[in-house]
Amino acid sequence: MQNLTDKELIEIINTDKYDEELFNKADAIRRERYGTDVYIRGLIEFTNYCKNNCYYCGIRAGNKNAIRYRLTKEEILSCSAEGYALGFRTFVLQGGEDPYFTDDKICDIVSSIREKYPDCAITLSIGEKSRDSYKAYFDAGANRYLLRHETATCEHYNMLHPSSMSLDVRKRCLYDLREIGYQVGSGFMVGSPYQTTENLVSDLRFLQDLSPDMIGIGPYITHKETPFADKPSGTLELTLRMIALLRIMFPYALLPATTALGSIHPEGREKGLKAGANVVMPNLSPVRVRKLYDLYENKICTGDEAAECRVCLEKRVQNAGYKIVTHRGDVLR
Ligand code: SAM
Ligand code: FES
């Protein structure tokens, strides 16, 4: 089933009659490689300033009603310390493309975390940068990078982004990151405006070429302060089907059950795990900024302290039939 043709992929994506069978197959493949282990990553959303204007995103520069914040280096280090004590061995520093955080500042933050926690993986998710910048962060101690390609179809990419952004640049960034030696994560939103089944097939084909270590997908969710305010959100069912397909096509991959999936259904993340996902990313950001990292409506986990999030996820993962492990959680190729 790993070598599905485009026609077979389209059939699976467009129907829901094989769901149970598809999820069971995906779960069996995941258990063969990863057992019941679920890896955790501590997410630190350190800035919601962004110079970009992606049409789908609540923290886009054009949203003048967004209340902006930046964490200080000390705050980021204190989130990491709290996370370390809770058993996290991977920190994900995510933010908008915020020019305030120059390469020197990012390198300084990364090397301070690296020095304190030599046993941890440091993941960056701060958008499109030059190859030199990516290399500098890598040399400072970052070892993973998350950059979703968003859609692998040029025309679709241009419907989701202003003309200042391009799919070619996005792809160039991903190949640069891989060449430098990062463990790379890519991915896309399911049900983003104007997305077709053929677009989803192209996403899968692009991922086969890139062969990323992690593939993050979640439903597109509407945000009222964007040009897509009237576009419907992606569905739980299609997102789960895409997770299962990814597990089948990429048996080795790290597949998160995302916050967006948990935001469109109360048991979205549990269902994601049962469909083949094997990573969860609880939030370590200070509670006072949680609501402000407002990518889409009704985002979950905005009121809980890091420790509460950790306990809540432990229970959810257990209820789904899996168990959280606290090591770095590197990919098993
Ligand atoms: N600035 C970095 C970047 O561009 O990769 C990281 C932050 S960005 C907010 C992280 C991801 O959030 C994007 O790659 C996108 O797929 C997702 N995202 C943004 N708006 C969303 C929405 N309305 N619904 C679901 N996911 C969204
Ligand atoms: Fe930059 Fe969303 S537009 S993070």
Return the CATH number at 294. 3.20.20.70
Q: How far apart are CA 1 and CA 299, in angstroms?
A: 35
Q: Beta-carbon neighbour count of residue 15 at 10 Å?
A: 11
The range of the structural domain enclosing residue 34 comes to 6-325
Between the CA of 51 and the centroid of ligand 2 the distance, in Å, is 8
In a domain, 144, yes or no: yes
Residue 271 lies in a domain: yes
Any ligand 2 atom below 6 A from CB of 160: no
Using the mean position of ligand 2's atoms as its centre, give its distance from the Cα of residue 15 in Å.
32
Mean pLDDT of 170-181: 98
- Residue 133 covered by a domain: yes
Atom index in ligand 1 nearest the CA of residue 148 equals: 14
Residue nearest to atom 4 of ligand 2 (CA): 96
For the Cβ of 96 lying below 6 angstroms from any atom of ligand 1, the answer is yes
Q: What is the pTM of this model?
A: 0.98
In the predicted structure, residue 18 carries a pLDDT above the cut 90: no
Asked if 153 and 121 count as a contact pair (C-beta separation under 8 A), the reply is no
Q: How far is the CA of 150 from the centre of ligand 1 (A)?
A: 8
331: in domain: no
Measured in Å, residue 149 CA sits from the centre of ligand 1 at 10
Predicted pLDDT at 12 = 94
Distance of alpha carbon 274 from alpha carbon 19, whole angstroms: 12
Q: Is the CB of 174 under 6 A from ligand 1?
A: no
Show Cβ contacts of residue 239 under 8 Å, excluding neighbours closer than 6 positions.
Answer: 190, 191, 217, 218, 219, 261, 264, 268, 272
Q: Is 332 inside any structural domain?
A: no
Position in ligand 1 atom list of the atom nearest CA 146: 5
CA 164 to chain centre: 23
Mean pLDDT of the chain: 96
The predicted-structure confidence for 138-175, as pLDDT tens digits, reads as follows 999 999 999 999 999 999 999 999 999 999 999 999 99
Tell me if 165 CB under 6 Å of ligand 2. no
Q: Is residue 297 one of the residues assigned to a domain?
A: yes
The predicted model gives 190-217 an average pLDDT of: 98
Atom of ligand 2 nearest to the CA of 95: 4
Atom of ligand 2 nearest to the CA of 96: 4
Q: Which of 134, 151, 295 to mutate to test the pocket of ligand 1 (most atoms within 8 A of CB)?
A: 295
pLDDT tens-digit profile of 274-302?
A: 999 999 999 999 999 999 999 999 999 89
Q: Which residue from 256, 307, 303 is spatially nearest to 281, judged by alpha carbons?
A: 256
Residue 181 CA to ligand 2 center (angstroms) comes to 25
Residue 97 in contact with ligand 2 by CB distance below 6 A: yes
Question: Is position 1 within any domain?
Answer: no
Confidence of residue 304 (pLDDT cuts 50, 70, 90): confident
Q: How many domains would you assign to the chain?
A: 1
What confidence tens digit (pLDDT) does each residue in 220-236 have?
Answer: 999 999 999 999 999 99
- For residue 1, the model assigns a pLDDT of 62
How many angstroms separate the CA atoms of 307 and 41, rounded? 13
Which residues are within 8 A (CB) of 179 and not within 5 positions of it... i.e. 6 or more apart? none
Residue 330 lies in a domain: no
Residue 136: per-residue pLDDT: 98
Q: Is 221 in the pocket of ligand 1 (CB under 6 A)?
A: yes
